Structure 1
Amino acid sequence: MNIKTIGSICSGIEAASVAWEPLGLEFKWLSEIADFPSKLLNIKYPNIINLGDMNDIPMKIKSGEIDAPDFICGGTPCQAFSLAGWRNGLNDDRGNLTLKFVDILNSSDSIRLNQGKNRSIMFWENVEGVLADKTNAFGCFISSIAGLDNVLERKKWPNSGLLRGPLRNVAWRVLDAKYFGVPQQRKRLYVLAGDKNFNPENVLFELHLKEKLAEFPKFDLSFKKDGYQFEVFREYTDCLYSAYGTKWNGNAAAYNGSLFVVQNNKIRRLSPLECERLMGFPDNYTDLKGATRTNRYQAVGNSWAVPVIQWIGKRLINQKAEFQINSDSLVLFTRIQECENGSIFFDFGRDLVDIGEGIVINCTAIPEECTFNSLQSIIDTNPPKEIYISPVGCAGILRRKNERNLKINERLENILINISSQMSDDEIEKKSRIQKRGRFDNIETSNKIDQIKNVLQESDKKEQDFTALSNKPIIIQENQNIVNILSDIENQLLKTQSELDKLNELFNKLMNESKKIK
């Protein structure tokens, strides 16, 4: 493919540039609005303009202010489509950026077609949860990209597929990063589309020539590195997530141990450097002056797995017509759906697919040629001391495990017990009462209530003084309403975890009442 120029949307910290610049591709513009990623782009890529808000890009392309590039890549905010984002999809404002992505692509194509060029090649990355989005966000997206007049409807989209539409051909495949050289289970959806003379299936799908696909190998879970003794709890980690810097002790990874490391008998979280390595970035890529660990965790967790992106880039540049998918093949009869205007949708599931004439294509999450690395390869032997987990923190993980009746890695549980036993139960309870807790934690909530009460008492006193001076009636019912709500909250604090939703509703009422007296 003759691809030379790229425009990047929702750029983040530019995994695309890390992956594709070494292949000789030139980035013409970036688009990112978040503060820390924007700062990183300014430092790492000072000669490439950051356009900021992607909503302005269509106008800038049409006016000639920026190039209509050969290749447009992006990943509209994945929170709108993942479980972490409550599956809001296109009902969420962020979901509308998906449609803006389509608008950008169409604007670029209008310029390119007038110049006698092919349409821009499009690349889009997202979480696989978008395939089951209740709003059919993915169906809306690929139907728009393909140029259909009506949206294709499915309750759940396959992990791999092909849509040949009136305007563009669109292919997609879920791939798992742990088969590409980083020991992290990170399944992501990759979508590729282009003009009618472009066959994205020859990039994303592969000829299957082996007897069977590879399995992730066994590695030693206990090892030495640079004189330190280490232990991990699995050969690869769970998927890194953007909130890992602040919410690391209450999710599945906290109980299977995959995002923890034991170093010289002390347990800790992964360091920002280790997270960079798990995503395939150069060491200290996000270590900017003034950057917090939270900045770095969030930026890396929101990014793309570089080795997967580079694999796709290499296949795109060196595209070969290794196979041809024919809609009249009898073996594909059950996988084909005919759509409007001669369009055809192929459902390839997550399978090795027989497409006829003895040809099988790989549409699974595992590539034909895998690269494997152990967690030892990403270990940072000099991590920040702040990421070690204290006896109080270990006790907290065990407490939540027992309260919620959760399963836990047996070896991890023993280590947590050993570390938490370094302090007495009374010491742990005393320490836990002064440590910052979660949003709905009873102790933190009680402190907030005390603060609000003090403010209200002072407010009432001022209102009474004012009334005495002016001899005018002042309605202070708003404050009484807040007091009543506070009493309700205090009652709720005595109840179990299952009552926290009610507590949240009461806090919302409290905030609404507070606004009335400002």
Structure 2
Amino acid sequence: MKIKVVELFAGVGGFRLGLEGFPKPESPNYEVIWSNQWEPSTKMQHASRVYEARFGSEHHSNQDIASIGSAEIPDHDLLVGGFPCQDYSVATTLHNSKGLIGKKGVLWWTIHRILSEKKNKPKYLFLENVDRLLKSPSNQRGRDYAVMLKSLDDLGYAVEWRVINAAEYGMPQRRRRIFFIAYHKSTSAYKKLLKSNKTDWLLKQGTIANAFPVRTDVSNCLDFELNGDLVSITETFNKDGKLSPFQNTGLMSQGKVHTLKTMASFEGKRTVLGDILQNGEVTEDFFIAEEDLPKWSYLKGAKKEIRKTAAGFEYNYSEGSMVFPDALDNASRTIITGEGGKSASRFKHVVHTKKGLRRLTPVELERLNMFPDNHTKLEGITDTKRAFFMGNALVVGVVGKIGAALYQQIGQSEVHDDSTT
């Protein structure tokens, strides 16, 4: 059984690599049958070019997803994507047709539109975002995630989520992201989740728990309901709350939320920054010139100084020091989009080698996200752009492990369902 996949906001194909190529690319359980990548702020569609170079242009779309009709997207079993973190609030009520819609240009509502309009809805969703989604916006902590969960509930999905730091499971980068799986009410997995003890699902039985084991103090569980429609949630959810009610682990089914805080449980081999470095293959332009070292040291160092705004206003500025150079015996810090280029930076990675201090190469950045070497190498794509891709990408190994657990969950649920009918 192959799961048919549509990949939205595809970037350079991290989800596809994780599902189709991890761990055995010769016999994948998933098949991407349609993909979309569109970068609205640039004329040259660099990420889409890389995607097509690696996976082919057939069934790949390089158009604004908001302009694509749902009928143009083939029916599929699993919808995946890492969509931008935006303001998900509901803007208005339409009187004549579609009910509630979100703010124009917010890509979550494009996903919502596709799910709403598809007669044969995808059975499963596998989505990724930055972990601050659970806490935004600052004046209504958790509201955006509540709107998302309620909108999926209205469409007939149950959702489980977890914030995963890849390094806590032996992967080479400290990259923290929220991953969530949704099951449509027509699936056996949905029915299995509904019948389950919710804490057991999150700690043992669920898809993410099987991929990434956890431990917890179960006394910190929180249960609440998402009451009202999307407009009322937008206006009232956690209006006076200082903290988000959503913990790093949880699930939502039939409008009821069960959430708790978990910690990673991992005893396996760990990959560190030193393990992924290229040896003897790095060109001179990645090394930091001696005359530039003071600037790097200043930017990386602790500061307590008076600064002046453009308008002439003086203020006290302070910040702590960064590890400089980066430790080779630990997982790396999170890759940022600005890793490329020679200019000194507080946040770029710098490593110490026999030949001196240097920045990370595009291949090393790919390795930190568990991409194949030179996945983003293509004529006309600069090293700076390749670094940008990796700053936006996800850790392929996380997708691979969740994908494998989801495939097993689907199979087990079907067997379980058959045995009870």
Q: What band does the TM-score fall into relative to the shorter chain?
A: 0.5 to 0.7
1:98 maps to 108
Determine whether 1:295 maps to 2:385. yes
Determine whether 1:127 maps to 2:179. no
Q: What is the deviation of 1:73?
A: 0.6
Determine whether 1:12 maps to 2:14. no
Larger strand share, 1 or 2 = 2
Please list the CA deviations of residues 404-440 of structure 1 after superposition, one character each: whole Å capped at 9, or x if unmatched.
xxxxxxxxxxxxxxxxxxxxxxxxxxxxxxxxxxxxx
Name the CA distance, whole Å, in 2 between partners of 1:220 and 1:183: 5
Alignment of 1:307-326 (within 5 A): 307-319=397-409, 320=412
- The answer to whether the 8 Å contact 1:185/1:239 transfers is yes
Q: What is the deviation of 1:111?
A: 3.1
Question: What are structure 1's unaligned runs of at least 5 residues?
Answer: 81-87, 113-118, 148-165, 325-518
Alignment of 1:73-92 (within 5 A): 73-78=80-85, 80=86
2:120 maps to 111
Larger helix share, 1 or 2 = 1
Q: What is the deviation of 1:18?
A: 1.1
Q: What is the deviation of 1:306?
A: 0.4
- The answer to whether the 8 Å contact 2:339/2:387 transfers is yes
CA separation of 1:271 and 1:221: change in aligned 2, threshold 3 A: closer
Question: What are structure 2's unaligned runs of at least 5 residues?
Answer: 40-44, 92-101, 194-200, 217-263, 288-324, 417-421
Secondary structure class of the residue paired with 1:182: coil
Larger radius of gyration: 1
Question: Alignment RMSD, CA only?
Answer: 3.6
Name the CA distance, whole Å, in 1 between partners of 2:272 and 2:403: 33
Length, aligned pairs only: 279
Name the CA distance, whole Å, in 2 between partners of 1:17 and 1:218: 24
Q: What is the deviation of 1:261?
A: 0.8
CA separation of 1:214 and 1:315: change in aligned 2, threshold 3 A: closer
Q: What is the deviation of 1:247?
A: 9.3
| Residue type of the alignment partner of 2:55 | Y
Name the CA distance, whole Å, in 2 between partners of 1:107 and 1:6: 17
| Residue type of the alignment partner of 2:80 | C
CA separation of 1:77 and 1:219: change in aligned 2, threshold 3 A: closer
1:36 maps to 46
Instruction: Return the match for 2:373 from 279, 283, 286.
Output: 283
Instruction: Return the match for 1:26 from 6, 18, 31.
Output: 31
Instruction: Return the match for 2:181 from 188, 192, 200.
Output: 192
2:59 maps to 48
Alignment of 1:114-513 (within 5 A): 119-134=122-137, 136-147=143-154, 167-196=156-185, 197-199=188-190, 201=201, 202-206=206-210, 213-214=265-266, 226=279, 232-234=326-328, 235-246=330-341, 249-251=344-346, 253=347, 259-319=349-409, 320=412
Name the CA distance, whole Å, in 1 between partners of 2:281 and 2:383: 23
- The answer to whether the 8 Å contact 1:124/1:191 transfers is yes
Please list the CA deviations of residues 141-163 of structure 1 after superposition, one character each: whole Å capped at 9, or x if unmatched.
1110111xxxxxxxxxxxxxxxx
Q: What is the deviation of 1:24?
A: 3.3
Name the CA distance, whole Å, in 1 between partners of 2:11 and 2:117: 22
Name the CA distance, whole Å, in 2 between partners of 1:4 and 1:209: 27
CA separation of 1:228 and 1:274: change in aligned 2, threshold 3 A: closer
Q: What is the deviation of 1:222?
A: 7.9
Secondary structure class of the residue paired with 1:198: helix
Q: Work out the percentage of aligned pairs sharing the same amino acid.
A: 25
- The answer to whether the 8 Å contact 1:173/1:189 transfers is yes
- The answer to whether the 8 Å contact 2:29/2:407 transfers is no
CA separation of 1:51 and 1:250: change in aligned 2, threshold 3 A: closer
TM-score scaled by structure 2? 0.58
Q: What is the deviation of 1:216?
A: 8.7
Q: What is the deviation of 1:304?
A: 1.4
| Residue type of the alignment partner of 1:283 | D
Name the CA distance, whole Å, in 2 between partners of 1:107 and 1:221: 45
- The answer to whether the 8 Å contact 1:179/1:216 transfers is no
